Structure 1
Amino acid sequence: MADEMVRKAQQFINGVYGGKLGIDRLPETGETGWSTMFALTRALQYELGITSLSDAFGPTTLNTLTSKYPVLNGATVPSENFTKIIQSGLYCKGYDGGDIDGTYNSRVASSMALLKQNMGVDFVYPGGNLVPKVFKGLLNMDAYVTSNGGTETVRAVQRWLNGSYVSRRDFYIIPADGNHSRDVAKSMLFAVQYELGMADGTANGVFGPGTQSGLKSHTVSTGDSGPWVQLFSAGMVLNQRPGVSFSGTFTSSLASAVSTFQSFVKLPVTGTGNFSTWASLLVSYGDQSRNGEACDGVTKITAARAATLKAQGITYIGRYLTNPIPDDPDLPEKEIQPGELATIAENGLRCFPIYQTFGRAAANFSYPQGRAAGQAAINAALDHGFKPGSRIFFAVDFDALDEDVSRNVLPHFKGIQDAIADDGNRFGIGVYGPRNVCTRVGEAGHATASFVSDMSSGFSGNFGYPLPTNWAYDQIVTRTVGSGAGSINIDINIASGRDTGQGSFNAPRGQLPDTSLDSDLITAMRTDVGKYMESIGFPNDGGLRSHTHEECFRRVVLEYDSVTTLLAYRYNMRKALIQTTAYWEMRHIDPIDLSVDAEVALEFLTTRSFRDSSTGIGQIFGKTAVLAWNHAVRKGYAEGSIRDVTDDEDKYNIWADCRHDDQFSMSTVPLIHLWNADGAPGADEEETPLRSMRLNYTESETFQILRRYQGTNAEAIEHARQRMALYQIMEKYNSISRHN
Structure 2
Amino acid sequence: MSDEMVLRAQRFINSTYNNGATLGISKVEEDGRTGWGTMYALTRALQYEIGITALSNSFGPTTLATLQTKYPSLNASTVPSWIFGCILQSALYCKGYDGGGIDGIYNDRVRAAVIQLKQDMGVDGAFPGSSLEPKVVKALFNMDAYVTVNNGSGQIRSIQRWLNGRYVNRRDFFIIPCDGHHSRDVAKSMLLAIQYELGMADGTANGVFGPGTQAGLRSHTLSVGSTGTWAQLFTAAMVLNARETSFGDFTGAVQAEVQEFQAFAALPVNGTGDFQTWASLLVSHGDQSRRGEACDGVTKITPARAQALAAAGYKYIGRYLYNPSSTSLPEKQIQPGELDTIKQYGLRCFPIYQTWSRDADYFRYSQGCVDASNAIEWARIHGFKPGSIIYFAVDYDALDSEVTSYILPHFQGIYRTIGELSDYGVGIYGPRNVCQRVSDAGYAAASFVSDMSSGFSGNLGYPLPTNWAFDQIATIWVGSGDGQIEIDNNIASGRDTGQGTFNPTAPITEDLDVDLKASYKPTLLHDIQTYLTSIGVPETGGEGWKDGDWVTYNQVTTTEAFNFVMEADWLFTNLARALKLRKALIQAPVMWELRKLNPLDPLADDAVRAGLKDDSSTGWGQIFAWVAIEARNYCVQQGIINGLPLSSSDKRAVWDLLQDPHYNIPTAAYLTIYNAHQVGIPRPSLTTDQADTQALLARYNGTGDGAQQYGRELIGLYNVLENYNSLSRVQ
Aligned partner (choices 225, 232, 254) of residue 223 of structure 1: 225
1:82-231 aligned at under 5 Å gives the runs: 82-231=84-233
Aligned counterparts of 1:70 and 1:22: Cα–Cα separation in 2: 27
- 1:462 equivalent to 2:459? Answer yes
Q: CA offset at residue 511 of structure 1?
A: 2.6
Letter in 2 for 1:296: D
Letter in 2 for 1:448: A
Superposed CA RMSD = 2.7
List gaps (5 residues or longer) in structure 2.
Answer: 514-546, 548-552, 570-575, 599-712
1:322 matched residue in structure 2: 322
Q: CA offset at residue 665 of structure 1?
A: 2.6
Aligned counterparts of 2:722 and 2:354: Cα–Cα separation in 1: 34
Instruction: State the Cα deviation string for residues 693-725 of structure 1 (Å, max 9, x = none).
Output: 45xxxxxxxxxxxxxxxxxxxxxxxxxxxxxxx
Instruction: State the Cα deviation string for residues 246-301 of structure 1 (Å, max 9, x = none).
Output: 11x21111111111111110110111111100000000000000010100111111
Alignment partner of 1:305: what SS? helix
Alignment partner of 2:464: what SS? coil
Aligned counterparts of 2:130 and 2:269: Cα–Cα separation in 1: 49
Aligned counterparts of 2:242 and 2:483: Cα–Cα separation in 1: 41
Letter in 2 for 1:454: D
- 1:17 equivalent to 2:17? Answer yes
Q: CA offset at residue 671 of structure 1?
A: 6.6
Q: CA offset at residue 508 of structure 1?
A: 1.0
Letter in 2 for 1:4: E
1:375 matched residue in structure 2: 373
1:381-396 aligned at under 5 Å gives the runs: 381-396=379-394
1:223-622 aligned at under 5 Å gives the runs: 223-242=225-244, 244-247=245-248, 249-325=249-325, 327-328=326-327, 330-423=328-421, 425-514=422-511, 545=556
1:612 matched residue in structure 2: none
- Contact 2:584 2:718 survives alignment (8 Å): no
- Contact 1:545 1:587 survives alignment (8 Å): no
**Cα distance change, pair 590–205 in 1 and its aligned pair in 2 (3 A):** farther
**Cα distance change, pair 333–581 in 1 and its aligned pair in 2 (3 A):** farther
Aligned counterparts of 2:342 and 2:722: Cα–Cα separation in 1: 44
Aligned counterparts of 2:372 and 2:13: Cα–Cα separation in 1: 52
- Contact 2:585 2:718 survives alignment (8 Å): no
Q: CA offset at residue 546 of structure 1?
A: 6.6
Aligned counterparts of 2:210 and 2:93: Cα–Cα separation in 1: 40
List gaps (5 residues or longer) in structure 1.
Answer: 517-540, 558-564, 569-573, 593-657, 675-692, 695-740
Aligned counterparts of 1:159 and 1:107: Cα–Cα separation in 2: 23
Aligned counterparts of 2:446 and 2:65: Cα–Cα separation in 1: 49
Q: CA offset at residue 673 of structure 1?
A: 2.6
Q: CA offset at residue 394 of structure 1?
A: 1.1
Aligned counterparts of 1:579 and 1:305: Cα–Cα separation in 2: 47
- Contact 1:659 1:665 survives alignment (8 Å): no
Alignment partner of 2:295: what SS? strand
Alignment partner of 1:477: what SS? strand
2:8 matched residue in structure 1: 8
Q: CA offset at residue 668 of structure 1?
A: 4.0
Letter in 2 for 1:77: V
Alignment partner of 1:20: what SS? helix
- Contact 1:305 1:482 survives alignment (8 Å): yes
Scaled by the length of structure 2, what TM-score is found? 0.73
Aligned counterparts of 1:413 and 1:163: Cα–Cα separation in 2: 43
**Cα distance change, pair 587–186 in 1 and its aligned pair in 2 (3 A):** farther
Q: Is the deviation greater in 273-282 or in 410-419?
A: 410-419
**Cα distance change, pair 441–298 in 1 and its aligned pair in 2 (3 A):** same
Instruction: State the Cα deviation string for residues 343-381 of structure 1 (Å, max 9, x = none).
Output: 111111100011112111122111111111222111110
Q: CA offset at residue 513 of structure 1?
A: 3.5
Aligned counterparts of 1:437 and 1:396: Cα–Cα separation in 2: 8
Letter in 2 for 1:38: Y
Q: CA offset at residue 589 of structure 1?
A: 5.5
1:688 matched residue in structure 2: none
Q: CA offset at residue 389 of structure 1?
A: 1.2
Q: Is the deviation greater in 437-446 or in 124-133?
A: 437-446
Letter in 1 for 2:401: E
Aligned counterparts of 2:251 and 2:76: Cα–Cα separation in 1: 48
Scaled by the length of structure 1, what TM-score is found? 0.73
Aligned counterparts of 1:585 and 1:340: Cα–Cα separation in 2: 44
Aligned counterparts of 2:134 and 2:392: Cα–Cα separation in 1: 47
Alignment partner of 1:318: what SS? strand
Alignment partner of 2:317: what SS? strand
Letter in 2 for 1:47: E
Aligned counterparts of 2:182 and 2:348: Cα–Cα separation in 1: 37
Alignment partner of 1:437: what SS? helix
- Contact 1:578 1:669 survives alignment (8 Å): no
Letter in 2 for 1:285: H
Q: CA offset at residue 544 of structure 1?
A: 5.2
Alignment partner of 1:491: what SS? strand
Q: CA offset at residue 224 of structure 1?
A: 1.3
Q: CA offset at residue 118 of structure 1?
A: 0.3
Q: CA offset at residue 458 of structure 1?
A: 1.2
**Cα distance change, pair 26–76 in 1 and its aligned pair in 2 (3 A):** same
**Cα distance change, pair 583–212 in 1 and its aligned pair in 2 (3 A):** farther
Letter in 2 for 1:398: Y
Aligned counterparts of 2:593 and 2:39: Cα–Cα separation in 1: 50
Q: CA offset at residue 506 of structure 1?
A: 1.0
Instruction: State the Cα deviation string for residues 571-609 of structure 1 (Å, max 9, x = none).
Output: xxx9757778878877876889xxxxxxxxxxxxxxxxx
Give aligned-pair identity as a percent. 60
- Contact 1:546 1:587 survives alignment (8 Å): no
2:45 matched residue in structure 1: 43
Letter in 1 for 2:276: S
Aligned counterparts of 1:667 and 1:232: Cα–Cα separation in 2: 66
**Count of paired positions:** 563
Instruction: State the Cα deviation string for residues 645-669 of structure 1 (Å, max 9, x = none).
Output: xxxxxxxxxxxxx999647634641
- Contact 2:316 2:348 survives alignment (8 Å): yes
1 or 2 for the larger relative contact order (CA 8 Å, sep ≥6)?
Answer: 1
Aligned counterparts of 2:234 and 2:392: Cα–Cα separation in 1: 35
Aligned counterparts of 2:197 and 2:582: Cα–Cα separation in 1: 64
Aligned counterparts of 1:391 and 1:259: Cα–Cα separation in 2: 29
1:736 matched residue in structure 2: none
**Cα distance change, pair 582–304 in 1 and its aligned pair in 2 (3 A):** farther
**Cα distance change, pair 583–227 in 1 and its aligned pair in 2 (3 A):** farther
- Contact 1:582 1:669 survives alignment (8 Å): no
